[in-house]
Structure 1
Amino acid sequence: MNMHYIRRGTGRPLLLLHGLGGSWRSWSPIFETLAAERDVIAVDLPGFGNTPPLSGDVSIRTLADAVTSFLRQHDLLGIDAVGSSMGARLVLELARRGGVVGAVVSLDPGGFWRGWEIPFFYASVAGSIRLIRALQPALPTLTRSPVSRTLLFAQFSARPWRIAPQVALDELRSFAAAPSFDELLYTLAYGERQQGAPAGSITEPLVIAWGRQDRVCLPRQAPRAVALFPGAHLHWFDACGHFPQWDAPQSTVRLILQVTGREQLPGASSEVTARSGVSNKVLIAAALAVVAGVAWLVSARRK
């Protein structure tokens, strides 16, 4: 599989896999810092960024096949890997298969929702992408304002006003232009569930990290991910949303270098419900408020 990628730095190779709708630019807040320490390869997954979509069905399974083919083509099998959101689920799938990746850091992986969380995820993200597509002509203006960035990214970030305008613009343009977005969103929500790995089958370091204020993949899903990957260490990011590389870039870099450097990690946290943020009702209300706010922006621009 020929995938577009950016490669910079020297040292031990490190693979970065972005989330649904993103591209290699999703890593821009931490890319250069990582490249100062490692040989960093950030790819555009099939159907996103500058990589054409797959010819058949699009799923975590087929994306994992494509990434495996890419790594084999570039003699990178066994590479340390970091994934975000959908990419975080993807690196877990690669780790589960064995022999594809080395140490793994999975940042807020999707795919561990249950019950009402499934339609909540699907409807909130589907509503967001429709609004983002409608706002395309106005995005350069909107992303320059901390107020509109807050409305546009409130579901994805604990500090949306701090996201750099260019990062915000690149991400929203990538979301709107991705040909595989809609199909993969549905597959992620309602398709095949993520399989786990038996205890002891993954011998390389594996960390599943979660933002305590994640409003896309709720913090209550973290113990489910660890239960399927019993050898994983669970790491929490305080005051952080769905994308730690945006909300806590320095802490994210430190975690990645620690894990992939095979350094000793502290014991996993079990404080899931006590410190996981706000209640389910508040999360739903917040998501609806974001959608309503962005809808108001669309209406105001059209008048």
Structure 2
Amino acid sequence: MSATVTLTVPSPRGPRSLPLSYARVGTGEPLLLLHGIGHHRQAWDPVVDILAAERDVIAVDLPGCGDSPALPDDFAHDLPTMNTVLGALCEALELERPHVAGNSLGGLLALSLGREKLVRSVTALAPAGFWSPVERRYAFGVLVAMRQAARNMPLPVVERLSRSAAGRAMLTSTIYARPGRRSPEAVVAETLALARAEGFSETLRTGTAVQFTEDIPGLPVTVAWGTRDRILVRRQGVRAKYVIPHARLVRLPDCGHVPMNDDPALVARVILDGSR
């Protein structure tokens, strides 16, 4: 069920309150799910029920996304800040070193939590941070274009397009290899989430300096990449394997950048295997 927790997070101006929205379902060891930039926790809906059969699943709206408000003005949109925020979330929800799975930006955040030993295992689906300069500029250009399109498109047009498979492909084929599988309601909701994501621009600006270059010893790590990823090309998975030599590198056939929708059973199995 959807809920909101208010965190107390340190800042240059002293402790600040930060509400975060999340949904929690299932039983077992805790598993924290982190979505990508401009998305929302419902990106995980195709796999949540499968995961909840074995895990206590917590899907969170990151700050400035979904139903969570943006970070206060004096907060940096960087990895140390997000480690602090997500660490405070785990403390508030009494999650003792949960497993974590993340997609895109969420994958980078998951790896950062693993580097700080705040979690017990990491599964990163097409994580950011393993790009070349050219690949980063390309990815950011695609993301900015998607954001502008979402903000400029009237809601009645989005709703009309979402009713057909061709329209859903027009709206979401950049992130999904099989956009026709996404429901019309989900496509409308995530288009609005992208248009309204308050933390989008600042997160993207901070991301220009991000490069993940450190190993994560002593922790199970899985990195998985869709073969049809149109935003972060799959050769970045090979770079991730060089940076984290003991990581399990998994190929996701016929999956796009957000693979949970394209093959829920495969993605759920990868996450569960990585957290065992």
Whether the TM-score (by the shorter chain) exceeds 0.5 is yes
- Aligned counterparts of 1:219 and 1:192: Cα–Cα separation in 2: 18
- Aligned counterparts of 2:86 and 2:201: Cα–Cα separation in 1: 20
Contact 2:22 2:59 in 1 (8 A): yes
Shift in Å at residue 24 of structure 1? 1.2
Contact 1:68 1:77 in 2 (8 A): no
TM-score (normalised: structure 2)? 0.88
Among all aligned residue pairs of Structure 1 and Structure 2, give the percentage whose two residues are the same amino acid.
35
The one of 145, 149, 164 aligned to 1:131: 149
3-state SS of 2:20 partner: coil
Partner AA of 1:70 in structure 2: L
Shift in Å at residue 194 of structure 1? 2.3
- Based on CA coordinates, which of the two structures has the bigger radius of gyration? 1
Q: Hey, what does 1:223 align to over in structure 2? A: 238
Do structure 1's residue 159 and structure 2's residue 172 form an aligned pair? no
Shift in Å at residue 204 of structure 1? 2.8
Contact 1:28 1:167 in 2 (8 A): no
Shift in Å at residue 87 of structure 1? 0.2
Higher deviation after alignment, 40-49 or 162-171: 162-171
The one of 91, 96, 99 aligned to 2:110: 91
Q: Hey, what does 2:129 align to over in structure 1? A: 111
Q: Which runs of 5+ in 2 are unaligned?
A: 1-6, 8-18
Shift in Å at residue 94 of structure 1? 0.6
Q: Larger strand proportion, structure 1 or 2?
A: 2
Q: Which runs of 5+ in 1 are unaligned?
A: 262-303
Partner AA of 1:33 in structure 2: I
Q: Larger helix proportion, structure 1 or 2?
A: 1
Aligned residues: 256
- Aligned counterparts of 1:94 and 1:88: Cα–Cα separation in 2: 10
Partner AA of 1:127 in structure 2: A
- Aligned counterparts of 2:29 and 2:137: Cα–Cα separation in 1: 40
Q: Hey, what does 1:233 align to over in structure 2? A: 248
Do structure 1's residue 141 and structure 2's residue 160 form an aligned pair? yes
Q: Hey, what does 2:3 align to over in structure 1? A: none
TM-score (normalised: structure 1)? 0.81
Contact 1:136 1:173 in 2 (8 A): no
Q: Hey, what does 1:12 align to over in structure 2? A: 29
The one of 51, 55, 59 aligned to 2:78: 59
- Aligned counterparts of 2:242 and 2:154: Cα–Cα separation in 1: 40
- Aligned counterparts of 2:210 and 2:130: Cα–Cα separation in 1: 11
The one of 40, 45, 60 aligned to 2:62: 45
> After the TM superposition, which segments of 4 or more aligned residues of structure 1 sit over 6 Å from their partners?
none
What CA RMSD, in Å, does the superposition of the two structures yield over aligned residues?
1.4
